[in-house]
Structure 1
Amino acid sequence: MAPRITIITPSYQQLTYLEDCLRSVHEEQGASVEHIVVDGGSTDGSVDLIRSWQERLAWWCHETDAGQSDALNKGLAHATGDVFGWINSDDLLLPGALSIVSERFASDPTMIILEGHRLLKATDGSSE
Structure 2
Amino acid sequence: MLNKPIIISKKDEKYKTILFYPFKNKKNHGGLRVMNKFKKTDNFRPLLTIITVVKNGANTLEKCIKSVIDQKDVNIEHIIIDGCSSDSTVSILRKYSKNIDYWISEKDEGIYDGMNKGLQLALGDYIGILNSDDFYKKDSLKIIIKYFKRHKDIDFIFGTVFKGKILSGFWPNKIKWKFNFYSAHSVGFFIKNKSQKILGFYNNKFKYSADRDLFYRMIEKYKMKGIATTRDELIGYFAKGGISESVGFLDRLIEETKIRINNNQNIFFVLLLFTIHLIYQSKKLITKK
Shorter-chain TM-score above 0.5: yes
Letter in 1 for 2:143: I
Who is 1:113 aligned against? 156
Amino acid of the structure 2 residue aligned with 1:32 = N
Structure 2 residue 126 is matched with structure 1 residue 83: yes
Q: Please give the per-residue CA displacement for 1:80-119, whole angstroms capped at 9, x wherever unaligned.
A: 0000011000001011221111111112221111001111
Instruction: Choose which of 143, 153, 166 in structure 2 pairs with 1:100.
Output: 143
| Contact 1:6/1:35 (<8 A) preserved | yes
1:29-72 C-alpha deviation (Å, 9 max, x unpaired): 12110000000010110000001111211111010111111101
Give yes or no for the alignment of 1:16 onto 2:59.
Answer: yes
CA contact (8 A) 2:70 2:139 kept: no
Aligned partner letter, 2:145: S
Unaligned segments of structure 2, at least 5 residues? 1-42, 165-289
**Corresponding residue for 1:44?**
87
Aligned amino acid, residue 50 of structure 1: L
Return 5+ residue gaps in structure 1 as ranges: 122-128
Would you identify which runs of 4 or more consecutive aligned residues in structure 1 move more than 2 Å?
none
| Bigger Cα Rg | 2
Q: Considering only aligned residues, what root-mean-square deviation do their CA atoms show, in Å? A: 1.1
The residue type paired with residue 93 of structure 1 is: Y
Q: Distance in 1 between matches of 2:139 and 2:97?
A: 23
Matched letter for residue 65 of structure 2: L
1:120 maps to a residue whose letter is: K
Distance in 2 separating the partners of 1:19 and 1:57: 11
Amino acid at match of 1:26: I
* 2:98 partner SS: helix
Alpha-carbon distance in 2 for matches of 1:68, 1:89:
11
Q: 2:68 aligns with which of 25, 40, 44?
A: 25
2:152 and 2:46 map into 1 onto residues whose CA distance is: 10
2:110 & 2:141 partners in 1: Cα distance? Answer: 26
| CA shift for structure 1 position 3 | 2.1
Aligned-partner Cα distance in 2 for 1:76–1:120: 25
Distance 1:105 1:95 in 2: 19
1:63 aligned partner: 106
Cα contact 1:34–1:81 (8 A) shared by 2: yes
- Structure 1 residue identity aligned to 2:119: L
Identity across aligned pairs (percent)?
Answer: 33
Q: 2-side partners of 1:33 and 1:6: how far apart?
A: 6
Using CA pairs under 8 Å that are at least 6 residues apart, name the structure with larger relative contact order, 1 or 2. 1
